[in-house]
Structure 1
């Protein structure tokens, strides 16, 4: 198995960069959770560990120590930029040569990310960042747009853009690390949906979705009518693999959100 450590930048008391009504810690977690989900659902030889799965404060030292202790094969730190620019860039440790294994892996991942993220390509860079310096495995830090740039920030507010950014990261990891697509797809026709609330008032469902988003969980509303009453059911994940749905329930419980599974036919 290829061990991939995903590090959503900042969290908890550390909001990271801010701008245009956004917090870096929220955007990085949204991207990271999608990366995790895609890797676990689509690849048979990838196992993922996250530095945080909710809005927790985690020190830089704790992040790299966890990755090193786990024996990760690759460390990917996801960030959002600020400072008046625009576009995408990524970093490896500045003491590494352009012919190093880490540089070669980064070249592959960078090429895939810029295909999908709809951002200006600011290039491949190097820096003496803690997560690049203190990790024992190859590592890379991505800066996915500028939160203080109105055009970049507008994209960060769109779920489809988050999906595309995550897909670029995953495509790059798959090519660089030799990940193998699952040979047999999950059973067709069945979805395991994670339910985190059912309301008769739409605004209550919207408030639940906002609370879940603050914890890094994207949700949607499934509307249905029973006995003449319309219900707004909040769905926080829809999976073909029950083990992934069970994991989502566990992650929600860690942040104090109760949930349960329903099974539907596609």
Structure 2
């Protein structure tokens, strides 16, 4: 089993309660593990209780900061139909609810093949021409020990101390151990880039308040292309719209998240 698979796998207890372990290996350099990793942990546990295997749409509200260590995931099936199940889950640590999730599950393999879209995959230079974070970065941002990412030079001025001021990031991404992407890895991918705020010259902690992900297809093997964009920062809140494209130029995941921008705090990478 891959590291990501192991760190998002839980064991069943009783009555919809599932024992889980929040890994320290998916840290952001800030006070809490990566929000996409936490969503994948909860989503895989919830899916294990349902007859449908994949989240089609899933929304998480981050109520308090999770920490590495034991947790309990409490689940509830709200409605079970022939092609879709709606359910909810809570991740609880030390008696405190950390995340509340509401999702509709189905089977991505059973979706119709008909695609009608005006969306186009982001134009990225070849992987070898993109910026790779220095290896020492992973000493602080532990999720980078397990994630290969290559940033488009045109949207990674933040890494050179010359942010463009435009809320746009484009990157290649895959798991470092070569594990091919699956639906739960996509939940991590939508939150695995640095905050768009960095390219807007805003360095600080950017904790997620809410994250919604739509999974559109089973991803093909290979590198993923990720684009994150923000058009509005107001009142200390920033939105990010994220697209994930697979190696066959298919839009396999879409997401939107709302986050706080807390300046003069330790920066985190996702």
Short-chain TM bin:
under 0.3
Report which of the two has the higher share of helix: 1
Report which of the two has the higher share of strand: 2
* Max Rg structure: 1
Query: Structure 1-normalised TM-score?
Result: 0.24
